Amino acid sequence: MSASYLGVAESTLQWILYEQMKRSLALREERIQRSGRARTWWDRTVDWTGKVGAAGSAKLVAAVLTYPHEVVRTRLRQAPLADGRPKYTGLVQCFKLVFKEEGMAGLYGGMTPHLLRTVPSAAIMFGMYEGILRLLHAPA
């Protein structure tokens, strides 16, 4: 369970990054309005795609930084045996052993399929969230 609890760090990091990116987008919009200049096609594009891009980017960064916990969690769940005893006895021991035996590549093995699944999912989820908030005229 400790590895699953460690997964909370990914979600927390993702939300923090997403909110910071949203704040940057809001400041950008504020600067455009204060300047009085006409909005360009790029401004309208950023307005529609900015939050979805922020959501995907936030998930990408959070997932890359915290991915080793996914590997460790999977290894602990599979519980392979070595000499009739569990190969992995705990979270820290599993991290150390995977790194010792396989290096960084072992801690990041399988990350590409993980990112191909989770980044679009996060972009869609946060995009829907923001769209529903806008539809309900609720503050974001």
Tens digits of residue pLDDT in 82-91? 788 888 888 9
CA distances from residue 50 to 5, 26, 82, 101, 121 in whole angstroms, order as listed: 31, 10, 49, 42, 16
Q: What is the average pLDDT value for the chain, to the nearest integer? A: 91
Tell me what pLDDT residue 79 has: 78
Low-confidence ranges of the chain (pLDDT < 50): none
Q: Does domain 2-135 have CATH number 3.40.50.620?
A: no
Tell me what pLDDT residue 64 has: 96
For 21-33, write each residue's pLDDT tens digit. Answer: 999 999 999 999 9
120: tokens are: 């679009």
Tell me what pLDDT residue 2 has: 74
Tell me what pLDDT residue 130 has: 86
What are the b/e assignments for 87-123, b being 16+ CB within 10 Å?
bbeebeebbebbeeeeeeeebbbeeeebbeebbeebb
